[in-house]
Structure 1
Amino acid sequence: MTFTAPSFAPGATLSGDGVEFAVYSRDAARVDLCLFDNEGEKELARLAMGRGENGFHRVFVEGATAGTRYGFRADGVYSPDHGLWFDPAKLLVDPYARELDRRFVHDGRLAVFGAETADIVPKAIVTRDRPVAVKPPLFRPGGFVYEVAVRAFTMLHPDVPETMRGTVGALAHPAVLAHLKRLGVDAVELMPITAWIDERHLPPLGLSNSWGYNPIALMALDPRLVPGGMKELADTVAALRAEGIGTILDLVFNHSGESDRHGATLSMRGLDNLTYYRHVPDRPGELINDTGCGNTIAGEHPVVRQLVLDSLGHFVRHAGVDGFRFDLATILGREADGFSARAALLSEICADPLLKDRVLIAEPWDIGPGGYQLGNFPAPFLEWNDRFRDDARLFWRGDSHRLGPFVTAFAGSADIFSRHGGTETRSVNFLAAHDGFTLADLVSHAVKHNEANGEDNRDGHNENHSWNNGEEGATTDGMVLSARRADVKALLSSLFLSRGTIMLTAGDEGGRSQDGNNNAYCQDNAITWMHWDRLDDGLIEHAAMLSAIRKRFPALGDTAFLTGEGDVEWLTLAGAPMTVADWEAPFAGTLLVLLKTPDRQQKRTVRLAIAINRTHGEQALALPPPEGRDWVSLLAANQPPTGSLPARMVEIFVENY
């Protein structure tokens, strides 16, 4: 694919005497720049852009300043069957827009040829370049990532002023910072905060997208979440950093909200559909849908690769973020012959001078052919590990023959991350995420309950490896509630004591529920909003203790694979080495893990004993003779072992010297 990179910056570039506008379109016969008044309502001028040989259309507007509102119109052949969607009635958002004057709102006219859309499409705003000092990332592999939906997280926080609730700026409020610090969060991972549009089936249902995984402008912040623009994001990143907390942005470069053939024409489709999206070979009118969202961004095309790299660099340069999580990241590695760890875009991200030291986290799958690529991304990419999620759930649910798979995942999933010669785990261990049950709902619902989504409970995953402890959903039965709480504590312990990087979704530390909805993307309401007054403070304290233990003992967050040569022993609860029969017993559910690790408190190397009992009965426990003075429980105020381990529990002991 022949393409010459431009010597100028795409988008709107402010200079001393005006603004240069540049946008790519290989196939448009003509592209016009449209300038609007300060309210973005009245079109003041329409200027023809000159076409260059490399496919960029450019025009310089003398006297234009920061704050100028603009959009594009592209004219040419309109033939969707041939992948051409040029319609000069459609106002198009600059793919390089840095700021928008309003949110995207779905309207039927966006998909109708010849229907004027200038009154409903956001206008891009020319911004002045305000870079921040780029510092090394605070976050390191092995740390604790806290997944946050910004709006849901703070909408009901009693201490956050109402004018700030639901915004990125609210994360810098002292009460919110105090919660993050109590938990020992190393980095917040912000679910999408760039501008998105609702899926077209939601408005008729009275619903709206609350997750943001349906983007239009890839580097423009959504005015709902970040009303103060890039300055608000940069200030929040700085405030978090001052407390030792990094910021990771969850970004979507796999599809756009323009959706399928029946979707909206808002930006890339109207400018150059054949360049920005992948199509079935020899059938240019048929979009490839490896994302399940109607279209697939063509990450193999040089223009798209540059847009992605520039978007990532924009957030590092102007907000100082620590790194990125990539939604459906397999798309980024897709080329003509399928996924490759050496795909141009992945290689360019890893080599880019501004990006190569950033945190990079892949969601290593999509729904296309060969889409499941867990363990196959190039270093230094960390990867969401759904095998850890499922193996931990199946083990604690009580399924047969689950001890071995659970322990393998618990120890860093060497079976996955060593197969290309790796010596360290790149796993991001998690039990629940935004997509699926909350942790509390996992142990309270045997099946999903998505009726509120308006699709007759057909949407969302059917197999969640969940259980309800004897009664479905809400209950007042004290025994059921106690069992559920014990399960949540055991699951939290399994996560925080696992090897590698860990991720917890906001609210799971306190028993947040979505009433069994496992696909709550369209619930921007009390279903997803975090009810701070309902959180279980005892569970929060349990998570905080586990986090402090993880920080105290480096072996827990270490990414090097365990060797069994002095670093770990696998024992029965009686203190004897595990045998093949012990591992392979159909319902094996107990284990004692002995780790050797530095102790930052005692300032010496010690042994940790992690005792696991998934059974429903109390088990006898015999720890090995201590090499120090005695064993003490880290979860029970340094009390000595009692000689037994309660049902459905993980306990952790340290040698006291």
Structure 2
Amino acid sequence: MTQTAPTALIEENPELGTTMVDGGVRFALYSQGAQRVILCLFDEHDRHQSSHDLTQGTGHIWQTWIAGIGAGQRYGYRVYGPYQPEKGQRFNPNKLLIDPYSRRLSRDLEFHPHQLGYQGEEQQGQICSIDSAAVMPKSVVVEPLGFSHRYPRIPWPKTVIYEAHPKGLSQLWPQISPAHRGKLSALCQPEAIAHFKRLGITTIELLPIHPKASEPFIVSKALTNYWGYNNLQFFAFQNTLLDDGNPKALADVIDVLHQHGLELILDVVFNHSAEGNEHGPHYSFRGIDNLSYYRVTDNPRFYENHSGCGNSLDLSHPMVVRMVTDSLRYWVEEVGVDGFRFDLATTLGRTPHFTRHSGLLQAIHQDPTLRRCKLIAEPWDLGQQGYQLGQFSGRWREWNDRFRDTLRSFWRADPDRLRPLAEVLHGSAALFDKDQRGPTASINFITSHDGFTLMDLVSFTQRHNQANGEDNRDGHSHNLSHNHGSEGPTEDADINALRLRQQKNLLACVLLSQGTPMLLAGDEAENSQQGNNNAYCQDNPIGWVNWSDSTLADWIASLTALRRRFQGLFSYEYLHHQSEPYGCHWFDEAALPLSEKQWLQPQRRQIAMRYSRAPYSLLLAMNASPQASIQTLPDNSQHRGWQLEISSHPDNELVQERIELQPHSLAVLSASLKD
């Protein structure tokens, strides 16, 4: 038997999710196609307590109010309507569904066949009558956090991003107490704070923490979706990461980071959900209102798939736009995060083709809370015309894969790299010098979670993904990597010295180029994934950071300190070519401006970049060739003498107005400008 709430406690336009009010809890769920919605309450042992009919109100929002319950109450929904997959309708009241707005789940989810909405072959359209309540996590009522956050609000020119997996960062970190290893609480431990400050990073960017599900084909191989880019919903986080998913505990962690002047950014995945394609389970959206939440094809049995993960959320639907923006505001205003990195962000602007003026992007752009956050786009997806680097609007920053690929190819001595190198080190102005954007719009990186670590980039020419169980077919084949003489680890001292030097070269270019630098956690420890460039399913030592070495930590710290000392050279505005000595200038080995003929020489692998703004100049002298070379320094009549700041090779020696650059090496010099 179901119960109905008193009419007086039904609101015309309620907040979605749960609201604690008048000694009880209001529940509100959007579903346009539903014919009936039932709320099921459960005790702390997941035993069914009672069921309650929701009333359909304005705007297809179903709601009820239950007296005498509060925070900690477990619940789920059963939604009635037609099961007609050929028409895109997949209602099945036998499936208990997660509230899209739930701030907490009773446990992490594991796939079970009883969660499927069909029986037999999906194409036969037979509804499954098996109840899924026993194998589903329950939504949990959470009271408002009531935090008053003090955000560091670090300007973009001073931002240094550190991308990290929320578990893998600390799972093997010996300086972190065992109680905090693999947990979000590791981020605010004194040892972690000291490490972050030593490196000079300002902003931690976490891979997805939202509740996730492992795809059945991964589970069948006894693996899990470790990276977490397969989310159930967007308001809770994974229970195993901290205090059974308690949002207050996470807000406390972020508060400590803020006290130390550190920001936290979340990687969010709004392009698809964990429910997969038409063969996937009923976790939430599919059973609540399939046609509202998802983009379907002309044959509505099937889903559009711009993500490559089986479905695409319909981010042009007003209620999906509302869900996304409500989620983002919740994480900022209540939990305290400082911004977001949007996975496959082209999907955010599809209507169905990409436009920076899409409803969702405009909603984020004008929102008084979100427009003050850091907003980072991964500017591509897998759909038609999915590559949109440089096409987002002014407040957005974008992952710049051209920077990554150009630096990798230059330092492995590929031909014809000078012009692309100059472009990306200068902040990719051809892409971002428009619409009141500047160099900080370019997120400059060499490595990220997706691909080789920095150590593997200089140690492996080929990927080695056998552990993923896909016969080494998965992962990118175009890595622009080089093993420098031996595939994988070696005892050869010369090879190891060259690999270390190449890592230093690449890091220097990331941290001293125009733009916003991003580092991959573990690169400072020469972390290796054993040549695996797609460790998405490796929740084990392959995917965890190995902290056995800290060779590069001091190098990174020196580079970020240099960036801070010469902060005036890293700003919101481009340092374009100006009259000597100001702006950005490029020189050959004789300190002469590069001629057009020299720019076009395919085998030229030495170049010097100088950028100047009163009162100082920095010079990056780079030699990617296998031979030593002399670099003459630019005219000293305009400077108070060049000083060697940092060098990737110990034998790069400054003698008067010249510096000898050893093979595959880089030197950074500074000078004060004369009045």
TM-score class, shorter-chain normalisation, is over 0.9
Match of 1:646 in 2: 662
- Give the corresponding residue for 2:183: 167
Give the drift of 1:617.
Answer: 1.3
Q: TM-score, normalised by structure 1?
A: 0.95
CA–CA separation in structure 2 for the residues paired with 1:556 and 1:542: 20
**The 10-residue stretch of structure 1 (383-392 or 132-141) with the greater mean CA deviation from structure 2:** 132-141
- Pairing of 1:561-576 with structure 2 (within 5 A): 561-565=574-578, 566-576=582-592
Q: Which amino acid aligns with 1:558?
A: S
Residue number in structure 1 paired with 2:554: 541
Distance 2:466 2:438 in 1: 46
Residue 79 of structure 1 deviates from its aligned partner by 1.7
Amino acid of the structure 1 residue aligned with 2:138: K
Stretches (4+) displaced over 6 A: none
The answer to whether the 8 Å contact 1:291/1:328 transfers is yes
Report the identity percentage: 39
Partner of 1:258: 275
Cα distance, 1:562 vs structure 2? 2.4
Q: Which residue matches 2:122?
A: none
Which of 57, 69, 72 lines up with 2:74 in the alignment?
69
Helix, strand or coil at the partner of 1:361: strand
Mean Cα displacement is larger for which, 391-400 or 253-262?
391-400
Alpha-carbon separation, structure 1, partners of 2:671 and 2:326: 51
What is the CA-CA distance between 1:43 and the residue it aligns to? 0.8
Check conservation: 2:152, 2:262, Cα contact below 8 A: no
The more displaced of 136-145 and 475-484 is: 136-145
Q: Distance in 1 between matches of 2:487 and 2:12?
A: 60
Q: Distance in 1 between matches of 2:100 and 2:474?
A: 31
Q: Please, which of 451, 454, 461 is the counterpart of residue 446 of structure 1? A: 461
Give the drift of 1:419.
Answer: 5.3
Q: Distance in 2 between matches of 1:339 and 1:420?
A: 18
Instruction: Return the alpha-carbon distance in structure 1 between the equivalents of residues 86 and 570 of structure 2.
Output: 53
TM-score with structure 2 length normalisation? 0.92
- Tell me the CA shift for residue 625 of structure 1: 4.2
Q: How does 1:56-455 map to 2 (within 5 A)?
A: 56-111=61-116, 112=118, 113-142=128-157, 143-227=159-243, 229-281=246-298, 283-336=299-352, 338-418=353-433, 422-455=437-470
For 1:539, the aligned partner's letter is L
Name the amino acid aligned to 1:66: A
* 1:22 counterpart residue number: 28
Partner of 2:5: none
- Give the match for residue 42 of structure 1: 47
* Structure 1 CA distance for aligned equivalents of residues 426 and 44 of structure 2: 57
Deviates more, 1:322-331 or 1:565-574: 565-574
**1:499, 1:559 within 8 Å by CA — same for their partners in 2?**
no
SS of 1:119's equivalent in the other structure is helix
- Mapped partners of 2:479, 2:653: distance in 1: 38
- Residue aligning to 2:125: none
Choose 79-88 or 454-463, whichever is displaced more. 79-88
- Counterpart of 1:10 in structure 2 is 16
Q: Which moved more, 1:59-68 or 1:304-313?
A: 59-68
Shift of 1:437: 0.8
Q: Does 1:474 align with 2:489?
A: yes
Deviations 1:118-162 (A, max 9, x none): 111111111111132244552322321000101000001112222
Q: Take 2:592 and 2:325, find their aligned partners in 1: how far apart are those partners?
A: 54
> Is contact 2:108–2:211 with CA below 8 Å preserved after alignment?
yes
For residues 231 and 330 of structure 1, the distance between their equivalents in structure 2, rounded to whole angstroms, comes to: 32
Change (3 A) 1:93 1:522: same
**C-alpha deviations, 1:202-246, integer Å up to 9, x for none?**
111111111111000211111011225212221111111122111
Give the partner amino acid of 1:284. Answer: P
Deviation at 1:423, TM superposition (A): 4.9
* Greater displacement, 64-73 / 560-569: 560-569
- Aligned-pair CA distance for 1:477: 1.7
Unpaired runs of 5+ residues, structure 1, are: 599-604
- Which residue identity does 1:210 align to in structure 2? Y
Q: Indicate whether 1:586 and 2:599 are aligned.
A: no
What CA distance in whole angstroms lies between the structure 2 residues aligned with 1:456 and 1:617? 39
Q: Tell me the amino acid that sits aligned with residue 308 of structure 1.
A: V
Aligned-residue CA RMSD in angstroms?
1.8
Give the CA deviation at 1:624: 2.6
Structure 2 counterparts to residues 474-553 of structure 1, below 5 A: 474-533=489-548, 535=549, 537-553=550-566
Whole-angstrom distance in 2 between the partners of 1:388 and 1:423: 15
State the secondary structure of the residue aligned to 2:169. helix
Instruction: Give the secondary structure class of the aligned counterpart of 2:670.
Output: strand
3-state SS, counterpart of residue 387 of structure 1: helix
SS at match of 1:635: strand
| Structure 2: gaps of 5 or more residues | 1-10, 119-127
